[in-house]
Every structure is written in C-alpha cells, then in structure tokens.
Amino acid sequence: MEFTLSEANVLKMTIKIKNMPNLNTIAKNTWCPGCTNFFILTAFNKAVEEMVAEGFDKDKLFCAAGIGCHGKIADYINLNSCIALHGREAALASGAKLANPELTVVAFAGDGDAYAEGIEHLVHLAKRNSGISLFVHNNQVFGLTTGQATPTSPKGYRGRSTPFGSIDEPLNPLLVLLSSGATFVARAYAPDLKETQALMKRAMKHRGFAVIDIIQPCITFADTREHFRNHVQWLDPNAPRDDFEAAVKLIRQDGEKTLLGIFYEVAKPTFEEQA
C-alpha cells in the first residue's frame, strides 16, 4: 500500500529533532489551556527520561497514537512515532512489535478511539498477550469533535449526540481487557503525576499486553475534576496482584471510590516471542 501526502491525516510522520536535550518538540501545542492531557505528556516524558538515565536507548522506543485530542501527543514527543487510523493505534503498535521485537512499543489512545472503534483490536491483542503498552486517555467524551458520548460516558451524560442524556450504561473497559487475557491491567488519574509516571514505567517494562486506563478529565466538554479529586484512591503499589478473581473485584469498584493502581500483573509468554 502506498501513502501520499494527501493521506497525511491517515498516517502522519512527525518531524523530529535530533539532539534535543529532552523529549520536547517544536510543534505548537493546541490542547486547550489547562487540559489534563498535559499531565499525561509530562508523566510519560519523565518516565522515559528515567529509563534513559538507567541505560535505556530511547531510539528503541516506538509510539503510535490514534485520532482524537490525545493523538496530538505523537507531535509533542521527540521519539519515533506515528498516528494511526481511528482506533487502530494498538493494532499498528502490535505490528511494529512483531516486525521488530527488540522495540519497546507504546500505543496512546482515547476512550472513544480505543473503546468504540478500536475495541475489537484490543480484545484480540489482550487475548494473544501482544507485548505492547496501551495508555488510554479516558476523558469519557469525544473531545476533538466537541462533546459526543463515548462508551465510557456516564449514564445521563448530556452532549451533542445525547442532548437528553445518555441512556447507556458505561463500559468497564478494564474488565473487558482483563477477561480477554491482558497480563498488566491498571488505572491512573492524570493529575496524580508521580503515580501515573511510575505506572507508565512499570507498564513499559512489562512483558506482555499492558493497559493503563488513565482518567483524564476534559475540562472543556466533561469536566470531572471535582468528582475525581474527591473519589480516587490509590492501591498499594507493592501488593502482589496475580489473583484474577481479586482483580475482577477491584476493577468492578462497586464502592464509592474509584480505585487506582495495578489490579493484575502476571508474566506469560508474549505473542511475538512465540511467533
């Protein structure tokens, strides 16, 4: 298949600058001022910088992003990266990992992107334990297209596609991916920078399919900061998390608090190793 410049919105190569002192690029940032995507960008950059300080070669890191506000992250990180079709970032990332298993591969996604258009890819990538990390910017809304409901929007959410309130129950994506076979399943809250950074680093070092659902309030179309500020609770990062049934209970989070941290973490052969 050939790609031309007119298809740049389908597969976009980002101009990177060699020898920048950090992971920043010269691309103009167009996220809304105060967007919590900035926390995710910072947490990721710090996680990578920490790994580089420990001897990791950042040229062996490849990132794919999808379509949505989150997808612009590919322009803002001075790493090998590209933007995929809507919801196809994890499939693209898995292809890169299969082609070159030496790479550490990260897919950035949005909740509308990954859990609507892309959910079928995620189920199969979890099932085969593809050795990639998936970081989902879950703001519970399609932000780039100005506020339509996504699979994780809460019941009653009023937006452009649901002016009278969403009548759907929200999807619990981590429950879907845990039951599909993911071997590292975690949730983070973007404004909790240090904890998110530590989780990202641990996910990138994980051997197998690692997913972090990152709650990322969209301050323009779904400002959930007040709610989550008072309702998140981090789990002990050092507790063993290899019990599947216990993970299901934690992920279902029937209580008042939204639990954060690692719910499940086990080592299993990856798809690429076996292939």
Which residues lie near ligand SF4 (CB under 6 A)? 31-32, 35, 37, 69, 139, 143, 218-221
Distance in Å, CB of 218 to ligand SF4, minimum: 3
Q: How far apart are CA 159 and CA 176, in angstroms?
A: 25
User: Taking the CA of residue 237 as centre, how many other CA atoms within 13 Å lie in the half-sphere pointing to its CB?
Assistant: 12
Q: How far apart are CA 228 and CA 234, in angstroms?
A: 12
Nearer to ligand SF4, 78 or 139 (CB): 139
Distance in Å, CB of 41 to ligand SF4, minimum: 11
Distance in Å, CB of 112 to ligand SF4, minimum: 11
Nearer to ligand SF4, 37 or 152 (CB): 37
Q: How far apart are CA 197 and CA 195, in angstroms?
A: 5
Q: How far apart are CA 99 and CA 24, in angstroms?
A: 27
Query: Which tokens sit at 194?
Result: 């240090």
Nearer to ligand SF4, 110 or 261 (CB): 110
Query: Which tokens sit at 207?
Result: 């051997």
Pairing of strands 258-265, 232-234: parallel
Distance in Å, CB of 110 to ligand SF4, minimum: 8
Nearer to ligand SF4, 129 or 148 (CB): 148
